Chain A
């Protein structure tokens, strides 16, 4: 967008919520642009457990969230089936889970509109043979796995089809405000080139999630976020075919989600951590594994690929800040809130959307867009629940074997694989680069799963870097795209960051091999480092 150009609305934050807001605005005929300081879906949206909630997890602790979840669960299956693997889910009661909760659960689900069905244990163990035989009751719920990067990508593509624009690696550095205090423009800086640009606008929606407090402060508004750090472990392969939840009030290590080739065990909840410094601690890992053992005995001996943490965009509705203790943070509602900073702080034209869940991203977008559109005199109805996302997000649901089946269908024998672990072909990577010529290796990872398997990039990174370099030579690479050497070194650093907390056993062996290849054979220590930019959220 040329400097000084005017749009109706600037959306800050390229996670699911921001993308959803952009889409909703555009579908209502408002001109809108989105800025994201990192890659799209590289913050909280890309760092969640991969679950399309049925809502059953919150039926007691947060019935509003539960109802939102089940409603949006149905909507997403309709508009974005290609981002969903319909795994189904179970709530299972271990001997440690309270009887009274088990007794109340079906009725509470029914009240929230969530269909549950008791599952005989022999049927459960046939379907999920690795589950603990100490499990004493199980209910089936409409959980599923939800692919966040495809969802955000599809949502942004839909927004673009309706005339909106979205820019990644564009950080907000300030606001211009009118004499009456309302925002008039958003000042941004390209995190890779340093180029600054001011976007004049009539309204701003902050969908910055855990970072929304920082954005509000830049605009002179007040917003106390209470980010809840949630840490998760990624295992080398699936232990279950369906989502497994503990039949208990939400706690640590109580959910196992099969996501593509891996499964994710989550989630801790620690209040008040800096979202830019969400480090997974040894205590969290121990707690997750100990609790995971109750679901899948032996899980702590299995191969862990990575640990990562996301920052929940929790907002204390009553501004009860400092809910410091671990247990209190889960009491803060996961339901979302629209904050009109004009009414509350005298900063007109600025709205924040906080709280909520990835599952409810469309609903959150609708609610804040309703407010903004009304203020701008737009009365077009929200249509985001009716129109499916464009291909491939709008395509049929995916399943675990998709990629293998596709490669095998073409013969299988000499597939040209760049990433062997996740079966990323040279063609798939080339398509991703064609689509976004300014991508770093880490950006390519999010849309292709490059380097997300057991070797964590040890073998595919050099191949992919060579592709980037060949494209640079051909002039097919965007000027802002990092140099291949820089890309290689920063990707290695990023992958290592997530592996360090779980450096034991098989993955430690892999790390030594990786270090041997990179430092010993390729001499990456001597390569230029990533300069400029902000990859804290990546």
Chain B
């Protein structure tokens, strides 16, 4: 057993065996930095793990593990390769299995259901989301913090638009795996940010890729984060069923949410124990969109005709992106846009961690975790930035809500630059919308 392969052990869930107790995880944890309620990743992870197991009426004698936001910074920092955040998440799932889950957690995890309910009545629902009385009521009855970052529903889902446009949902005859990609839009693009999906498709197509959008559901990450593994597995299995055929045939699966793509790449196997050939094929075929665009650029295939955007934009690389281990591809792409200066937030976590920052009892922690980031973003705005950029949706919503600065996905900035270039050439390409 070598020093770094703890995560690769086949002896089940024993990466905690590799913990050398060094405390590095505790020094990098953004949650324990701001609250004494959370005893830190070492305590709730490799330490507590040794005390869990069948016992007097409880397999899970602890509760403070639920304070873990799941950002995963500990796992990345661990010099011994312990899957700390993953261990914590499994422990939370154990607690949920034993003691059940709140209605709130079951509801905020079920994004597909929320979208199904919210989209048809989007104008009304969005008034509710902005209404202080309604939000106060939501906090008191459900435990969703009245100032928790919730995005407004789109009036039409991305999938409905795709269908209306009669765009491909399956491979067409003669498809070329090197020129066709499968777009995994995730629930956020589908129900809240369809414009981002259109931007992504526009960029991919501009660079010669055919985009297909096969049937898919929420990746299941909100269920995973809330310890609702059986529900998460349902989502994961259906997605794998739909996506595996493309992965096996050599098609790349590309996503605009670094959270969803990380679920496909890692969580399905590391947390949900879906370690079959389908899961492996999908994991290996999945790309973050910026990762893919950088790859195209490396091959000399990316259209670099970006029009200038003379602006300094604060960019926050989300925790989930860092867990991909692919560097900061958005920064590489921003560098291709003349005049654009992207400034790395140099802050670990925005605090939102998916649904964590929504919860009434966690909201303040999430705010405190992200506070230095919000201050930086506000300072950037004061210095002239019109917006901030970030690759994961809940992080964007958190930053936008907490700093008051509009926050977009990096590809939306790239798409804008391409459009400006087209307009400047006075022969605008046909817009997708």
Contacts and interface: CB of A to CB of B under 8 A. Distances in A.
A413 B37 contact: yes
Contacts of B36: 413-414
Interface in A483-520: 504-506, 509-510, 513
A423 interface: yes
B52 A505 contact: no
Given A238-B53, A413-B35, A510 B58 contact: no
Interface in B34-77: 35-39, 42-43, 46-56, 58, 60-64, 67
Interface string B1-41: 10100000111101011111111000000000001111100
8 contacts: A236-B50, A303-B14, A303-B17, A401-B60, A414-B39, A459-B23, A510-B21, A513-B22
B47 A298 contact: no
Contacts of B55: 399-401
Contacts of A506: 1, 17-18, 20, 80
B10 A298 contact: yes
* 3 A-B pairs with the lowest CB-CB distances in the bound complex, closest first: A401-B61, A405-B61, A412-B64
Interface stretch (A191-199, A222-230, A248-256, A450-458): A450-458
B58 A405 contact: yes
A404 interface: yes
B20 A455 contact: yes
B56 A458 contact: no
A302 interface: yes
Given A303-B17, A509-B80, A261 B64 contact: no
Interface in B71-110: 80
Contacts of B16: 237
A415 B47 CA distance: 13
A237 B22 CA distance: 18
Given A302-B11, A401-B55, A506-B18, A413 B50 contact: no
B21 A420 contact: yes
A239 to B, nearest CB: 9
Nearest to B38: A413
Interface in A171-186: none
A137 interface: no
Contacts of B37: 411, 413
Nearest to A85: B55
A241 B1 contact: no
Contact of A408 (B21, B35, B62): B62
Interface in A382-435: 399-405, 408, 411-415, 417, 420-421, 423
B50 A303 contact: no
Interface string B341-355: 000000000000000
Nearest to B52: A401
Contacts of B54: 241, 400
Interface size on B, as a range, is 35 or more
A301 interface: yes
A303 B39 contact: no
B141 to A, nearest CB: 27
A327 B431 CA distance: 86
A521 to B, nearest CB: 13
Contacts of A237: 14, 16-17, 49-50
Contacts of B12: 130
Contact of B43 (A236, A302, A420): A420
Nearest to B49: A237
Contacts of A459: 21, 23
Interface residues of A, number: 39
Contact of B21 (A415, A455, A504): A455
B62 A454 contact: no
Interface of B: 1, 3, 9-12, 14, 16-23, 35-39, 42-43, 46-56, 58, 60-64, 67, 80
Interface in A250-294: 261-262
Contacts of B14: 237, 302-303
Given A401-B52, A401-B53, A405-B61, A510 B20 contact: yes
Contacts of A505: 1
Nearest to A512: B20
B61 A413 contact: no
Given A237-B16, A298-B10, A414-B36, A404 B62 contact: yes
Interface in A88-121: none
A241 B54 CA distance: 7
Nearest to A415: B39
Nearest to A404: B51
B51 A261 contact: yes
A400 B49 CA distance: 11
Nearest to A396: B56
B47 to A, nearest CB: 6
Nearest to A505: B1
A452 to B, nearest CB: 11
Contact of A513 (B20, B38, B46): B20
Given A298-B11, A509-B3, A513-B20, A241 B61 contact: no
B51 A454 contact: no
Q: Name, among A301, A302, A506, the residue most crowded by chain B CB atoms within 10 Å (CB to CB).
A: A506
A326 B63 CA distance: 50
B58 A454 contact: no
Contacts of B49: 237
A63 to B, nearest CB: 33
Contact of B47 (A238, A399, A423): A423
B48 A454 contact: no
Contacts of A236: 17, 50
Nearest to B40: A413
B387 to A, nearest CB: 37
A279 B62 CA distance: 39
Could you say which of A236, A298, A458 has the most chain B C-beta atoms within 10 Å of its C-beta?
A236
Nearest to B63: A408
Contacts of B47: 420-421, 423
Interface in A458-498: 458-459
Contacts of A298: 10-11
A454 B53 contact: no
Nearest to B44: A412
Nearest to A405: B61
B294 to A, nearest CB: 35
Contact of A412 (B10, B39, B60): B39
A51 B37 CA distance: 38
A404 B62 CA distance: 6
A236 B64 CA distance: 22
A130 B12 CA distance: 9
Contacts of A412: 39, 62-64
